[in-house]
Amino acid sequence: MDKALTAALRARPEIQGMAATATAAAARALAAAACLALAACGGGSSGGSFSFLPAAPPAPPPPAAPPPAADGPMVRQTTAGKIEGVDDSASSGTWFWKGVPFAQPPVGALRWRAPVEPEAWSGIRPAAKFGNACLQIGRLFSPGANNTYDATIGTTLGKPVGSEDCLFVNIWRPATDERNLPVLLFVHGGSNISGYTADPLYDGARLAKAANAVVVTASYRLGILGFLNMPQLRPGGSAGDDSGNFALLDNMAALRFIKNNIANFGGDPGNVTLSGESAGATNLLAVMTSPMAKGLFHKAFEMSGGISLASNLPPGTLPTLAPAAASLAQGQSILEKLLVADGTAADAAAAKAYIGTRTPAQIAEYLRAQEGGAMLATVVASGLGSVAPIPDGAVLPADPIGAIAAGNYAKVPMLAGNTRDEGKLFASLLGTIGFPKPGWIVTDAQRFSMMFNFDPDAPPTLTVADIIDASYLPVDTPGTGYNAATAAITKGLFEANRDNLLNTMKTHQSNIWHYRLDWAQEPSPWNDVYGAAHAFDLPFVFGNFSGSLLSNVMGGKANQAGRLALSRAVMASVGAFMRKGDPNTPELGATWATWPSQLRLDATPSAAVVTPAQAVP
């Protein structure tokens, strides 16, 4: 049809002309209509003529989204998210990141469970402040009401302080771009029932700078939140929950955090030294014998620790650990005390009967519903608050010294240390170990006030008679004086556990070094009250002689030059050990032979004095 019409048009020219005329007329009519429409819309000019408006230009494309802001220089990536630390180079020559979670808060259903990886966060988390101290009943070396060392410690003694949301690490490193630095993880002491990483004693800046290393401190659960042997809380599985050793699991979780993250802070995850003092050293030794910690650290630096059972030691000495059966009995007594305290049971007999009617799940639910601070207060008031690693046979061998004797432990280079007068920090306990009285006549609150307000450069106002019981004076009376009495604790507890540990390790490895701190130049009367007491090596290791309770009685201009010289030598030696597994360094000015040799660390008022010696059995 279309083809026929086309052919007809081509055959009739007059028709082609008529079509063209009609087309032109239609175009003129359309133009006139457009002009009228434009005039009606105000589109024409004020005169009689008109013109077409130009076509509207196409809309411009939307502006490109700005690129994301670059991360600041103190931002680091962790497995859970980004954190931003602090450039403290102008003050300390270091960068730091504080309050970094290494596990989820162990609260609610996670109380008395193995630590769980932290939940991921978006954005950048600030890491400028310490995290919470772990929940504890306040003691001399606990935080005050402000999560730090201040005068409020004197008002919180015997009261709950801290939080169960407390599993954080703090990281210091030199303010340089150097990578693959050695790493030290320090675990604080406090009898496993107190202590906190925000104590200025443990600030890692000076050690990180002096040793050219990454220094990490980590918190862990304390008291019965950290160690509790109770069958009703055992969920089964292989995470270690059944052991009751939750604090040890926290220590190992901190080591895993380092393994997975420390490279982003310039540290070498293949060169990690695990360190701890007092209870922290005991935990270190427990981790060293745990099959769950294989490959997590490469050197060990323990201060005043031990891991012996009574069966490992000579008669008349004091063990660090008790068999698992002891902690099991303690756990059941704790449960009974809690049931009586809250009125669920009238007395211990009724509590035992009540426990027999409950399922393990019901008991676990009851315990997890307890308010943490009130629970700890009840336990401590009942005399059941002392805890220690539990030799459960899984997380910790049933006989850790026996495991070491059999070679079943991490055979890493070992740096070990003690202080000459360890027992002086525990003089209040003399009445419990065969002496007639406690060594001190002051309460903890009074002793805190004396130490906190002490001015080492002012004329002395205190005497030994203000602090030490008269029956132990003069302090140097042979056999019955304060020095002799507290030496019984030093020898019977610390040296007995030290010798048992190091002599057993010596059967498998030779790379063991030991020091003894002899420095006792505190201003009077503290040179007699404490001398070279337990924990007094810590300021020398960290280089911190201000802002803490210990350092407040150690300082002063009279001993400053020698004290700081000794600290510099100690920090250089710790750095050498971290780098190469041997603490010998020119700064010591002496050759450090392996155990049973030792170095004696002391100073004159103006210079360090480092002397090789043999450990006295």
Q: What is the pLDDT of residues 484-508, one digit of tens each?
A: 999 999 999 999 999 999 999 999 9
In sequence order, which ranges of 41-138 are alpha helices (DSSP H)? 89-92
Q: Is the peptide bond before 105 cis (omega within 30 degrees of 0)?
A: no
| Integer Cα distance of 86 and 93 in angstroms | 11
Q: Is residue 120 within 8 Å of 130, Cβ to Cβ?
A: no
Residue 296 and residue 207 share a domain: yes
pLDDT of residue 50: 32
Counting other chains too, the contacts that 9-14 makes at CB distance below 8 Å and 24 or more residues apart are none
| Domain end (from 384, 412, 440) | 412
pLDDT of residue 124: 98
Q: What is the pLDDT of residues 266-322, one digit of tens each?
A: 999 999 999 999 999 999 999 999 999 999 999 999 999 999 999 999 999 999 999
pLDDT of residue 293: 97
| Integer Cα distance of 107 and 113 in angstroms | 9
Q: For the chain, how many structural domains are there in total?
A: 2
pLDDT of residue 542: 98
| Integer Cα distance of 497 and 307 in angstroms | 7
Q: What is the pLDDT of residues 435-475, one digit of tens each?
A: 999 999 999 999 999 999 999 999 999 999 999 999 999 99
pLDDT of residue 176: 98
DSSP symbol at 492: I
Q: Is residue 579 within 8 Å of 546, Cβ to Cβ?
A: no
Residue 563 lies in a domain: yes
| Integer Cα distance of 364 and 165 in angstroms | 19
| Integer Cα distance of 259 and 174 in angstroms | 19
Give 265-283 as a DSSP string: GTEEEEEEEEEEETHHHHH
Residue type at 233 in one-letter notation: L
Sequence-ordered list of residues with C-beta below 8 angstroms from that of 109, at least 6 positions apart, any chain: 368
DSSP symbol at 406: T
From start to end of 391-527, where are the E strands? 414-419, 512-517
Among candidate residues 260, 262, 230, the one with its CA nearest the CA of residue 243 = 230
pLDDT of residue 19: 36
Q: Going by DSSP bridges, is the β-strand pair 94-101/168-174 parallel, antiparallel, or unpaired?
A: antiparallel
pLDDT of residue 59: 75
Residue 438 lies in a domain: no
**Cβ atoms < 10 Å from Cβ of 589:** 12
CA dihedral sign of residues 158, 161, 165, 166: negative
Residue 61 lies in a domain: no
* Token output for 443: 């309460």
Residue 52 lies in a domain: no
CATH of the domain at 336: 3.40.50.1820
Residue type at 247 in one-letter notation: A
Residue type at 149 in one-letter notation: Y
* Token output for 3: 């083809």
| Domain end (from 412, 440, 465) | 412
Residue type at 526 in one-letter notation: W
CA angle 298, 301, 304 (to 5 degrees): 150
- Note if the pTM is more than 0.85: yes
Residue 484 and residue 376 share a domain: no
| Integer Cα distance of 321 and 309 in angstroms | 5
In sequence order, which ranges of 310-438 are alpha helices (DSSP H)? 324-341, 348-356, 360-368, 372-381, 400-405
Going from the C-alpha of 263 to that of each of 87, 103, 270, 601, the distances in angstroms are: 18, 19, 10, 34
| Domain span holding position 509 | 448-617
Residue 453 and residue 408 share a domain: no
pLDDT of residue 70: 76
Point out which residues pair with 171 in neighbouring strands.
97, 216
Residue 484 and residue 405 share a domain: no
Reduce the DSSP state of residue 35 to 3 states and report it: helix
Residue 469 and residue 557 share a domain: yes
pLDDT of residue 608: 98
Among candidate residues 95, 125, 240, 251, the one with its CA nearest the CA of residue 188 = 251
pLDDT of residue 16: 39
Residue 191 and residue 303 share a domain: yes
- How far, in whole angstroms, is CA 540 from its chain's centroid? 20
Residue 301 and residue 218 share a domain: yes
Residue 610 and residue 462 share a domain: yes
Among candidate residues 285, 292, 275, the one with its CA nearest the CA of residue 187 = 275
Sequence-ordered list of residues with C-beta below 8 angstroms from that of 607, at least 6 positions apart, any chain: 561, 562, 565
HEC letters along 3-16:
HHHHHHHHHCHHHH
Residue 374 and residue 467 share a domain: no
pLDDT of residue 339: 98
pLDDT of residue 62: 75
Q: Is residue 173 within 8 Å of 205, Cβ to Cβ?
A: no
| Integer Cα distance of 381 and 273 in angstroms | 37
pLDDT of residue 545: 97
Residue 44 lies in a domain: no
Among candidate residues 223, 235, 203, the one with its CA nearest the CA of residue 379 = 223
pLDDT of residue 238: 86
Q: Is residue 461 within 8 Å of 507, Cβ to Cβ?
A: no
CA angle 303, 538, 132 (to 5 degrees): 100
Mutual angle of helices 2-11 and 13-40, in 10-degree steps: 110
In this prediction, the residues of the chain whose per-residue pLDDT falls under 50 are 1-53
CA angle 413, 415, 417 (to 5 degrees): 160
Residue 4 lies in a domain: no
Residue 568 and residue 459 share a domain: yes
Residue 537 and residue 398 share a domain: no
pLDDT of residue 55: 58
In sequence order, which ranges of 466-559 are alpha helices (DSSP H)? 482-489, 496-506, 526-529, 538-542, 549-554
Residue 221 lies in a domain: yes
| Integer Cα distance of 74 and 83 in angstroms | 8
HEC letters along 568-605:
HHHHHHHHHHHHHCCCCCHHHCCCCCCCCEEEEEEECC
Q: Which residue in the block uniquely carries the two structure tokens 């162990």?
A: 106
Point out which residues pair with 399 in neighbouring strands.
none
Residue 474 and residue 402 share a domain: no
| Integer Cα distance of 490 and 467 in angstroms | 20
| Domain end (from 365, 388, 412) | 412
Q: Is residue 265 within 8 Å of 173, Cβ to Cβ?
A: yes
Residue 19 lies in a domain: no
